[in-house]
A = this chain, B = another copy of it.
Amino acid sequence: MKENPIIYYGGDYNPEQWDEQTMEEDMRLFEEAGITIVTLNVFSWALLQPSEDTYDFTTLDRIVDTVTKHGLSICMATSTAAHPAWMARKYPDILRTEFNGMKRKYGSRHNSCPNSPNFRRLSRNLAGALAEHYKDQKNIVAWHISNEYGGACYCENCERAFRIWLKEKYKTLDALNKAWGTNFWSHTFYDWDEIVAPNLLSEHIDETTTDFQGISLDYARFNSDSILQNCVDERDAIREVLPDAAVTTNMMYYFKDLDYQKWAKELDFTSWDSYPRYYTKPASVALWHDVMRSLRHGQPFWLMEQTPSVTNWQPVNRIRRPGEMRLWSYQAVAHGADSVMFFQMRRSAAASEKYHGAVIDHVGTNQTRVFREVKALGGELQKLGNQTTGARTPAKVAILFDWNNWWAVEYSSGPNDRLRYTEEVHRYYEALFEQNVSVDLVDVYADLSAYQLVIAPTLYMVKPGVDEALKTFVKNGGELIVSFFSGIVDENDHVTLGGYPGKLRDLLGIWVEEIDAVPEEAPNAFTYQGETYPATLLCDLLHAETAEVHATYRDDFYSGMPAITCNHYGKGKAWYVATASDHAFYQQFLKDRIEECSIAPVLDTPKGVEAALRESEKGTFLFLLNHNKTEETVLLPHGGLDLLTDCSYAPQSSLTLPAKGVAILKK
């Protein structure tokens, strides 16, 4: 895919909800605000296809013509995220069956069964027809398949497809019975047709409490694959007509159901929708930007949606304070985004998203704070031009992040139901983020050779080959951190026998004998580098075999047993952190590791001021982002030119950022 010529600026635009005059007014206001792209046709299937035999592009043609006439680029959606009512009536099999076993009726969105033959045929056909109809529309710069894919279905079509998926994976029932461990609880399957979907009517007590981890895990994989197949269906239909189309679909924040690492391979670029809550930490959003960037090995991604002001669907929809929209837009760019896009361009007047913020509010004018902020940012982006586009983030630290592990950890029955995989990842990420250390969040099969430090938080599931890859990494001089409840199972959620952490035992030089779940009200503690920190959630009770002990538990019968160990292995080191602790611990521990690895933080900044780097042949760009409500001053050892203000800073000079302020320094 080609690099973006500019940072695209615009967003979801639904003029089919309005009359022609309003659209003309929109054009005027978009121009004023510096808008360069619109995402069209996100939810128009019912308009485009009033019946099975008819396509009607009249309205969309009018919209495309208008925005084209006004010089806007188009991100063309395929409209398949909500099927028409007539289709549900004609083909009831396109309706999802819920996790509780109830068959849905027509309504809402994300309402289609991914394995409905009718849905697959009709959605593929629509994508193809759109590509055919707009194949000569040169300002379509991207194709946006469906919208925020998600959900799962448990209908009979899905069960049939699941059996086929299983046959392809396991070939024989013997292999399947072994993988699922069906001698447990008399679950032996003698015929593929005996297999049903794991849900509230069969194996589950709630979403994550299952009686058969193997079945549930495979269904999670199957579901992600099924929906991905819908996406691939449409992508292929588009590519048949437009082999060079740039295809994406917009992903979501910490979305567990879909294995985006597998998905990203099928897309030309990744994009996502960022909707933090009013209390969300900047580090949480940054983490997900880094996941998105890492999905395709550092290739810039699109910020496909954010709100210019307010969401409608959160319990308390606080408006973004002045400057926050700009700050968070630049945070996306700082982490690798080559677009800044909104949901929505004009605030709809009816139905459930009418209180979701927009560039143009219900008042319909440019006389709003929000419009003024959008317009100001538009001007800045115009000024930035293509300077930062295509630039990459140089990272020496990688955190392993794995969807299969996420599923498996949280399906686990025991040891502590408060364990959340993403929280364990976040603990380590946040400490690095606050030290301005660039981080990639990579899959477990990523090439680790370029990294100096790799962190594997709660790597519960060790897929085939992952242990070797980690050993090679450490052997060659890398530093590895693994945290508690790691190395426990293989890809089928079978425990690796012979002592935890299984295939990582010799690498880490430890044996974990027992795992204690820690009640919230009664934490243990350990001392590291002279400071005492709490030990919470889980405490692995381990024996150092070849590892050195760097901290021990303070309390209880396992007082004195190791809490932190480090094993020298080849030219590198493998650390083990046997419990969860508080923020202060991770800050200190990672500071020490970063120093040990001689990894240079991007910049030393005051607390709350983020520094991030992008580089390309066009230059090196230092983003300074002040998340505080107060002015902050940053010392610039190397100086640079602030692309937003054209101020030039000499080496060792200081730059003062206002509250929520941003600077982009080109070295």
Instruction: Please give the residue numbers on chain A whose beta carbons come within 8 Å of chain B beta carbons, in ascending order.
Output: 14, 16-17, 43-47, 50-51, 79, 82-86, 88-89, 98, 100-109, 180-191, 193-198, 200-203, 210-214, 278-279, 309-319, 321-322, 347-356, 361-364, 368-370, 412-418, 492-500, 511, 513-520, 556-557
Contacts and interface: CB of A to CB of B under 8 A. Distances in A.
A495 B347 CA distance: 10
A358 to B, nearest CB: 11
A105 B196 contact: yes
Given A106-B194, A188-B46, A514-B309, A183 B17 contact: yes
Contacts of A363: 497-500, 511, 513
B316 A185 contact: no
16 contacts: A14-B183, A17-B181, A17-B183, A46-B190, A83-B186, A84-B186, A86-B194, A180-B351, A184-B350, A210-B352, A212-B351, A319-B516, A349-B495, A362-B498, A363-B497, A363-B500
Given A107-B196, A107-B198, A413-B352, A364 B497 contact: yes
A203 B398 CA distance: 42
Contacts of A309: 514
A556 B412 CA distance: 45
Given A85-B188, A190-B85, A514-B370, A417 B212 contact: no
B16 A82 contact: no
Given A106-B202, A513-B369, A516-B319, A352 B190 contact: no
A104 B201 contact: yes
A195 B86 CA distance: 9
B413 A315 contact: no
A494 B350 contact: yes
Nearest to A348: B184
A191 B14 CA distance: 24
A544 to B, nearest CB: 15
A189 B414 contact: no
Contact of A194 (B89, B495, B513): B89
Contacts of A516: 318-319
Nearest to A48: B186
A413 B188 CA distance: 45
A499 B88 CA distance: 38
A362 B106 contact: no
A315 B203 CA distance: 19
Given A109-B211, A183-B17, A349-B181, A355 B46 contact: no
Contacts of A364: 497-499
A210 B98 CA distance: 17
B351 A193 contact: no
A562 B368 CA distance: 16
B83 A318 contact: no
Given A322-B557, A517-B318, A415 B355 contact: yes
Given A85-B189, A183-B14, A414 B494 contact: no
Contact of A312 (B186, B203, B370, B414): B414
Nearest to A370: B514
The 5 closest A-B pairs by CB, nearest first: A181-B350, A107-B202, A312-B414, A355-B414, A46-B188
Contact of A557 (B89, B197, B310, B321): B321
Nearest to A182: B46
A17 B312 contact: no
B518 A353 contact: no
Contacts of A188: 46-47, 50, 84-85
B107 A412 contact: no
Nearest to A520: B316
Contacts of A191: 86, 89
Contacts of A45: 186
B102 A362 contact: no
A589 to B, nearest CB: 25
Contacts of A212: 107, 351-352
A186 B112 CA distance: 13
B352 A317 contact: no
Contacts of A85: 187-190, 194-195
Nearest to A309: B514
A200 B96 CA distance: 13
Contacts of A106: 194, 196, 202
Contacts of A314: 414
A349 B185 contact: no
A89 to B, nearest CB: 5
Contacts of A203: 107-108
Contacts of A98: 201
B352 A211 contact: yes
A167 B416 CA distance: 49
A460 B513 CA distance: 51
Nearest to A88: B194
Contacts of A100: 102
A51 B200 CA distance: 27
Contacts of A319: 514-517
A487 B276 CA distance: 29
Nearest to A199: B105
Contacts of A498: 362-364
A79 to B, nearest CB: 7
Nearest to A181: B350
Contacts of A557: 321-322
B47 A201 contact: no
A201 B195 CA distance: 25
Given A86-B191, A313-B413, 18 more contacts: A14-B183, A14-B184, A17-B184, A46-B187, A84-B188, A89-B191, A107-B203, A184-B348, A184-B353, A210-B352, A211-B351, A311-B414, A317-B414, A317-B416, A317-B517, A349-B494, A350-B493, A353-B413
A544 B313 CA distance: 29
A502 B440 CA distance: 49
Given A196-B105, A319-B516, A414 B356 contact: yes
